[in-house]
Amino acid sequence: MLNLADKVGQGGVRLRAQADRVEDFGRVLGPPLLRYCAIMAGVVVRITRNIPASTTWGTAHYGIRLIHMAQIPAKAALDLLDFYTEAGVDALLGEEPVDCFATGEAPPPAPRPAQTALLPLDLERKGRAAPQVAPLAPDEAAMAARQAAKSAKTLDELRTILDRFDGCGLKATATQLVFADGNPQARAMFVGEAPGRDEDIEGLPFVGRSGKLLDRMLAAIGLDRTKVYIANIVPWRPPGNRTPTPQESQICLPFILRQIELADPDILVCLGGPSAQTLLGIKDGITKTRGRWFSFHNGAREIRAMPTFHPAFLLRSPLQKRFAWRDFLAIKKALAG
Ligand code: URA
């Protein structure tokens, strides 16, 4: 865990954060009081993503000059750190603040990227300009997600469309899209809840501690990532690894449904209660539903689906591994049949 307080105490920090546009810089730095504190603390934010490739300032660092740390009221400084933690700030880029404004590299205003998720892919292929679209209300975002997901004809297209989709707020705080890992042709597909910190950094699902356990569980039944396909309900890391809100899950749902439809596995394994409840539409908790076979309509046909414990839960409750072992044996048997 980063001790941001210590780092600020040393006179300044540089943080990695995300913004779509230079105008969003203020949003990344927080509300006005916190922004003031950030300036006082010499916080330097590097904008790391969604910078249009055509702009020359895409990789620049934007700095705020260190003024005087001692002027920050203690509570405000703590509020500032809380804000960053909540916002998903997860990397210190350096010990010393850098005043890039002093170098005269102030960025030119950038055009707002259009919400291309609303664009059918072939419109773009024909080279037509993307229409500018206002930010979407949640219902509109869910509808846009359904339309966008439906328009994908392949998993590659789906990944591209999802990467451009701006209807889910999690995209703004995540480092990158975490789409899938493994073999899309595999007969078994495993779906978790949402990426964590390691997944957010690597851009692949289940690569952290719970992913390592998942790999061991797969190996125990003779599988590895060349023989399974892995994804999540929500493809962007929620800030601070919080649980995705029901609204965020609902907005992302059409994409994972389409991903399952396009991958067309014979067996779907829901890792954890939230995945099972979202995909299978069941209300019961995972302790009740794990190890049972459900029918799942993947858009084209019925397939078998089983909820099992999430590996992160098994890391916290190792005694439950014996139940997960039974589930994995049942999965092995189903794949043999
Ligand atoms: N937990 C999940 O649900 N998914 C991941 O990718 C990693 C951890």
138-162: pLDDT as tens digits: 889 999 999 999 999 999 999 999 9
Gap from CA of 213 to ligand 1 centroid (Å): 11
pLDDT of residue 211: 98
CA-to-CA separations, 301 to 90, 221, 267, 304, in angstroms, rounded: 42, 26, 12, 10
Delimiting residues of CATH 3.40.470.10 domain(s) in the chain: 116-336
pTM: 0.66
Round the average pLDDT of the chain to a whole number and report it.
76
CATH (residue range 116-336): 3.40.470.10
Gap from CA of 206 to ligand 1 centroid (Å): 5
Q: Is the CB of 311 under 6 A from ligand 1?
A: no
DSSP state of 128: P
DSSP state of 238: P
From the CA of 272, give the closest atom in ligand 1: 3
Q: Is the CB of 205 under 6 A from ligand 1?
A: yes
Gap from CA of 199 to ligand 1 centroid (Å): 7
Distance of CA 299 to the CA centre of its chain: 25
Q: Is the CB of 198 under 6 A from ligand 1?
A: no
Gap from CA of 222 to ligand 1 centroid (Å): 21
pLDDT of residue 114: 39
From the CA of 275, give the closest atom in ligand 1: 3
From the CA of 204, give the closest atom in ligand 1: 6
Q: Is the CB of 193 under 6 A from ligand 1?
A: yes
Gap from CA of 225 to ligand 1 centroid (Å): 15
Judged on CB neighbours under 10 Å (0-12, 13-18, 19+), 232 is: buried
pLDDT of residue 246: 92
pLDDT of residue 139: 85
From the CA of 208, give the closest atom in ligand 1: 7
Gap from CA of 4 to ligand 1 centroid (Å): 25
pLDDT of residue 90: 52
From the CA of 198, give the closest atom in ligand 1: 7
Pairing of strands 294-297, 302-308: antiparallel
Gap from CA of 246 to ligand 1 centroid (Å): 17
From the CA of 178, give the closest atom in ligand 1: 6
Q: Which of 176, 198, 243, 310 to mutate to test the pocket of ligand 1 (most atoms within 8 A of CB)?
A: 310
pLDDT of residue 137: 79
Gap from CA of 73 to ligand 1 centroid (Å): 38
| Residue 17 backbone dihedrals phi, psi, to 5 degrees | -150, 180
Q: Is the CB of 270 under 6 A from ligand 1?
A: no
Helices 246-263 and 138-151 cross at an angle (nearest 10°) of 10
Cα-atom radius of gyration of the chain, to the nearest Å? 22
From the CA of 192, give the closest atom in ligand 1: 3
Residues of the chain with pLDDT under 50: 1-12, 22-23, 25, 47-71, 92-134
pLDDT of residue 169: 92
Gap from CA of 76 to ligand 1 centroid (Å): 33
CB contact at 8 A, 250 and 191? no
